[in-house]
Every structure is written in structure tokens, then in C-alpha cells.
Amino acid sequence: MRVGVVQFPGSCDERDAALALATIGAEPVLLWHGEADLRGVEAAVLPGGFSYGDYLRCGAIARFAPVMGALREFAGRGGPVLGICNGFQVLCEAGLLPGALTRNANLRFVHREQHVRVEASGFWTGGCRPGDVLRIPVKHGEGRYVHDDPDALADAGQVLARYCDASGELTPAANPNGSIGNIAGVTDAAGNVAGLMPHPEHAVDALLGSTDGQRLLGAVLPGRSTRGLSAPLRLA
């Protein structure tokens, strides 16, 4: 599986994402933000970092990059797209995901190991079941998720994961940024586009403390890529 990893000016995790994908057996392909050619990839990852220096708002400038037009078309055909941290912010700014990411409630950058509870079935949770608890690090200053109607989002099956404690309980202490409903990630209505504030690419090696990120990134591998989608992939 060829998986594109987008490079924006200011991205800092694209090589981490590429290494993580290679570790699980995928073929990472770096995609430059200024080009609209996705080079035949079968899935795409928008990595963490500080695209365009986070000027205006996180992701507000990156949404206009030529690669985003190609990604919009790709996603519209059912192509799997995952935005991690800054990539999540970019997808929200581009209107490919609902809601927005704002300043952390404590107005401080947070960097810590974090438990998240899988909430819904979709492309990117093909290696998990609802209720599974994963340990994946977070590192962000603007990760507080907001949405006008989070209950409706949950009812539609679009809440991908929530911040929790080690036992899976949704507590205020387990919420690193004040996100509404402890929401850590969401999907679009079809389930093939997802955004996640925690960094699964930093949780693929036991030396880093967790391999739980493999269960999310591993969705791109053959045999794990269709569970939970509302419609079959259309990559033509």
C-alpha cells in the first residue's frame, strides 16, 4: 500500500509518519504541498507540525495549498485520509472534517502520554473495536476540539476517539486540553477521512513506550482497510 505523507512548510512530523508507516509494512510517499499530484497513493496522511508557522490560525493557510485540492477529490472518491494534530487542524479548516481546534483550555502547550478510547468503527479504526483503550502521546497547544452539536456528531458515529484514563473512564483529569466531550478525534460522514490530535506515529515501537499506534496506522494494510466504512472505497 502506497501512503502519501504531505509536507507543508513548518511540518515537523512528516518523516516520523513516513518511518512509522514503513515500520508497519506500508510504502510511504512524501507529497509536496505545492503540487497537486498525489503520485498514485492509495491513502494519505497529513502529519503534525506547524504548517506555514500557524499564522492566522492553525491550518488556515495550509487549506489553500494545491495538494489540498487533490486530497479533496481523493477523499470524495472514498480515499482514506488521516490528519494527525496539525493535519487534523488543516482538515477542519478545509471543511473536510466537522468542528474546529482551538487553544488549549489552560493556554499551555501539553506534551504527555495519553489514553484514548475508540468510539466508532471506520477506516482508520479497522484494527480496533469500540471501547478499546489505546495509549498514544499528545503534543499540542491548540487541540481543544469544539463543535456546535457534539451529541449529534456522536449519534452519527463520527466521534473517532475520546480522551480517557487507563480504565477507559472519561474524566476531566484525562482531558489534556478541554475538548468538548473529551473528543480526541472525529471522522467525516463516510468514515474515510479522520482527524486525531494524539500522534499514532510516535507509538509504533516498544522503545517509545507503546505500539498502539500500529492499530490505527495499520488500517492501510491489506485486509484491514474496509471495516466500518459506510460505502466501499472508490479509488479510480
| Residues designated catalytic | 85, 199, 201
DSSP string, 149-185: -HHHHHHTT-EEEEEE-TTS---GGG-SS--GGGEEE
Sheet containing 110-118: order of strands: 27-32, 2-7, 43-46, 81-84, 193-196, 183-187, 159-164, 110-118, 133-140
Please answer whether residues 105 and 177 qualify as being in contact, where contact means their C-beta atoms are separated by less than 8 angstroms: yes
| Cα 52 from chain centroid (whole Å) | 19
Phi-psi region of 40 (alpha: psi -120 to 50; beta: other; left: phi over 0): left
CB hemisphere CA count around 4 (13 angstroms):
28
Amino acid identity of residue 148, one-letter, is D
| C-alpha to C-alpha distance for 75 and 77, rounded to whole angstroms | 5
Q: Which residues contact 149 (CB under 8 A, 6 or more apart)?
A: none
| C-alpha to C-alpha distance for 204 and 21, rounded to whole angstroms | 9
